[in-house]
């Protein structure tokens, strides 16, 4: 059995197939596993994530995958979400004792970045989502911004709340986001279950999360080959025939899961498949959006919190990597920018921060220095200690085609994992999963491809994990919607 591509989709497929008793040959072009969600060592010896990756409590398949890979204890979950505004003021949101969807309401009531009228509008929109069991009517072809305007959200609520959460969750601007995707984020993460919003952050560099995958494959007689790029996937008589390596050699197999990014797929499969009548024609319409990661190493401690989401800034998130890697407990919530207490510093020698800007269209043409200057100016507002600190090193990583854009009607462009070509299966965050381009989406696609392949081989098996159960009023309201959905 061949799996081409060692990102999360390929790894999830490979591990599930190996566990089902198949000898898997996993072929990855690069020298490391993990694809876009990986880390590597810079020439100076610092190991950096390609970009900070976070998961949420509602990502049940990714959690299952980490468990299978023996990496679950390397991801730490935080119960409190920390925000900061232009004046450096801090806000924290967390679940309380009320049943969903009301569990975040008391905390949100004190979210003073918004005025009463803004919050009343947000509460009405949340209720509209929850009462419809996550599926409000008449949203087809609508952008998230259109839906928010339909619900009369104030400009402050749009900019200081909806945009803050959704741009980073979906890597797209609100006017280019399918309303279904935006609504789904709030339903799954904040309304349906009290655990859904919890933020999970790896406490090790990303590549370390995948060490167990190699073992899962090789211990069952399979093989993981790195630096092994596939140049072509050949079909014969409507079925997968073999893969051709970059050095010209061929490998045949009983079946093949191709788990490369959609743009790379176009190089591998016959081009007729992507033409107007072809089964993959929709991929020509799939757009991509950029993410920029900025890594700063300061000579001293400049930040107390484990992470911060920023309101009214270009920078959307700051991650305190020194803290996140330290294994320390999250500090007590803070309500204003505080001078860091050096005596409690996890690494007194300095601090490593990573900043993330999703849908970073405005930064694509900017130089490294312009981006560094912009981010430093913003840090000075949020973390005053950075003003007196020396910046020892800065790295900017621009991912121009970071993820597919969740544009309105995007699902009509995404192919299923099983095509009409026998023995050939697709996986990748861009295939039909119902999820946006996330690690959870990638793992789901890998599990779905494995399920399709196993069913095809007469070995049907459930691999995909269920969503978190709906709770409280959300459960009751979602159940009421069921007869209508039939
Ligand atoms: C900057 C950035 C930040 C992100 N942040 C988050 C986040 O915080 N949370 C989240 O959930 N998601 C995040 N994502 C999205 C997430 O990384 C992806 O959705 C997910 O990793 C995609 O996995 P994949 O396996 O589908 O694709 P990929 O990770 O792209 O894997 C495809 C693999 O195929 C290999 N390959 C390509 N061509 C060939 C070939 N010819 N032969 C052999 N191998 C080949 C590639 O080298 C790669 O390893 C982020 C993405 C980026 C880029």
pLDDT, tens digit (0-9, with 9 covering 90-100), for 192-240: 999 999 999 999 999 999 999 999 999 999 999 999 999 999 999 999 9
Ligand 1 environment, Cβ below 6 A? 4-10, 27-30, 35-37, 51, 53-55, 229-230, 259-261, 264, 268, 291, 293, 399, 402-403, 428-429, 437-442
* pTM given for the model: 0.95
CATH of the domain at 253: 3.50.50.60
Give the range of the structural domain holding residue 444, as residue numbers without chain letter.
2-48+56-74+205-286+407-456
Q: Which atom of ligand 1 is nearest to the CA of 445?
A: 26
Same domain, 98 and 69: no
Same domain, 318 and 447: no
Q: Quick check: 9 and 445 in contact, CB under 8 A?
A: yes
Pocket test for ligand 1, best of 53, 61, 201 (most atoms within 8 A of CB): 53
Instruction: Give a yes or no: residue 474 inside a domain.
Output: no
Pocket test for ligand 1, best of 8, 12, 37 (most atoms within 8 A of CB): 37
- For residue 66, the CA-to-ligand 1 centroid distance in Å is 16
Q: Rounded to an integer, what distance in angstroms lies between the CA atom of residue 256 and that of residue 233? A: 9
Same domain, 264 and 125: no
- For residue 210, the CA-to-ligand 1 centroid distance in Å is 13
Q: What is the CA radius of gyration of the chain?
A: 23
Same domain, 268 and 297: no
Same domain, 98 and 166: yes
Same domain, 86 and 190: yes
Q: Determine which residue's CA is closest to atom 26 belonging to ligand 1.
A: 428
Instruction: Give a yes or no: residue 414 inside a domain.
Output: yes
The domain boundary residue, chosen from 344, 369, 404: 404
Residue 280: its pLDDT value, please?
Answer: 97
Listed as own residue / partner, the contacts of 321-328 with beta carbons closer than 8 Å and 24 or more positions apart are: 321/52, 321/352, 321/353, 321/354, 322/346, 322/347, 322/350, 322/351, 322/352, 322/353, 324/76, 324/201, 324/202, 324/203, 325/203, 325/204, 327/203
Strand 2-4 to 47-49 pairing: unpaired
Band of pLDDT at residue 484, cut at 50, 70 and 90: low
Query: What would the two tokens of residue 62 be?
Result: 């990714």
Pocket test for ligand 1, best of 439, 441, 447 (most atoms within 8 A of CB): 439
Q: Which atom of ligand 1 is nearest to the CA of 8?
A: 25
Residue 99: its pLDDT value, please?
Answer: 98
- For residue 318, the CA-to-ligand 1 centroid distance in Å is 22
Band of pLDDT at residue 138, cut at 50, 70 and 90: very high
Q: Rounded to an integer, what distance in angstroms lies between the CA atom of residue 209 and that of residue 442? A: 15
Q: Could you give the number of structural domains in the chain?
A: 3
Average pLDDT over residues 45-55: 94
Residue 483: its pLDDT value, please?
Answer: 64
CATH of the domain at 341: 3.90.660.10
Secondary structure class of 6 (helix, strand, coil)? coil
Percentage of residues in the chain with pLDDT exceeding 90? 91
Question: Which residues lie closer than 8 Å to 299 by C-beta, 6 or more apart?
Answer: 350, 389, 390, 391, 392
Q: What would the pLDDT profile of 361-416 be if each residue is shown by its tens digit?
A: 999 999 999 999 999 999 999 999 999 999 999 999 999 999 999 999 999 999 99
């Amino acid at each position: 059995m061949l799996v081409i591509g060692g990102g999360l989709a390929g790894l999830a497929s490979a591990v599930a197939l190996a566990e089902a008793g198949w000898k898997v040959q996993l072929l990855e072009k690069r020298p490391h596993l993990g694809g876009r969600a990986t880390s590597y060592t810079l020439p100076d010896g610092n190991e950096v994530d390609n970009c900070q990756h976070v998961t949420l409590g509602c990502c049940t398949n990714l959690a299952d995958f980490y468990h299978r890979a023996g990496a679950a204890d390397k991801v730490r979950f935080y119960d409190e979400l920390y925000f900061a505004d232009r004046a450096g003021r801090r806000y924290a949101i967390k679940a309380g004792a009320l049943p969903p969807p009301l569990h975040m309401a008391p905390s949100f009531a004190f979210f003073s970045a918004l005025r009463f009228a803004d919050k009343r509008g947000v509460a009405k929109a949340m209720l509209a989502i929850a009462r419809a069991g996550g599926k409000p009517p008449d949203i087809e072809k609508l952008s998230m911004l259109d839906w928010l305007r339909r619900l009369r959200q104030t400009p402050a609520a749009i900019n200081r709340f909806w945009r803050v959460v959704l741009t980073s969750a979906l890597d797209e601007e609100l006017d280019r986001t399918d309303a279904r995707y935006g609504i789904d984020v709030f339903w799954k993460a904040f309304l349906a279950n009290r655990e859904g919003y919890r933020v999970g952050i790896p406490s090790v560099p990303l590549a370390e999360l995948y060490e167990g995958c190699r073992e899962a494959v090789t211990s069952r007689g399979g093989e993981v080959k790195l630096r092994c790029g596939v140049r072509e996937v050949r079909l014969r008589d409507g079925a997968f025939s073999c893969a051709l390596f970059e050095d010209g050699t061929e490998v045949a197999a009983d079946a093949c899961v191709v788990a490369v990014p959609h743009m790379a797929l176009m190089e591998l499969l016959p081009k007729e498949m992507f033409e107007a009548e072809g089964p993959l024609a929709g991929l020509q319409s799939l757009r991509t959006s950029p993410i920029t990661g900025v890594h700063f190493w300061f000579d001293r401690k400049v930040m107390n919190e484990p992470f911060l989401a920023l309101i009214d800034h270009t920078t959307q998130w700051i991650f305190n990597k020194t803290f996140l890697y330290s294994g320390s407990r999250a500090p007590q919530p803070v309500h204003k920018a505080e001078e860091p207490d050096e005596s409690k510093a996890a690494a007194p020698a300095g601090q490593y921060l990573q900043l993330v800007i999703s849908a970073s269209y405005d930064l694509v043409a900017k130089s490294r220095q312009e981006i560094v200057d912009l981010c430093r100016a913003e840090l000075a507002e949020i973390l005053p200690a950075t003003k007196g600190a020396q910046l020892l090193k800065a790295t900017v990583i621009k991912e121009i085609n970071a993820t597919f854009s969740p544009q309105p009607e995007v699902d009509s462009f995404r192919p299923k994992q099983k095509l009409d070509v026998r023995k050939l299966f697709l996986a990748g965050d861009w295939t039909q999963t119902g999820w946006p381009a996330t690690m959870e989406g990638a793992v789901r696609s890998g599990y779905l491809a494995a399920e399709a392949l196993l069913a095809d081989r007469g070995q049907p098996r459930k691999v995909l994990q269920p969503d978190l159960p709906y709770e409280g009023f959300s459960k009751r309201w979602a159940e009421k919607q069921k007869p209508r959905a039939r």
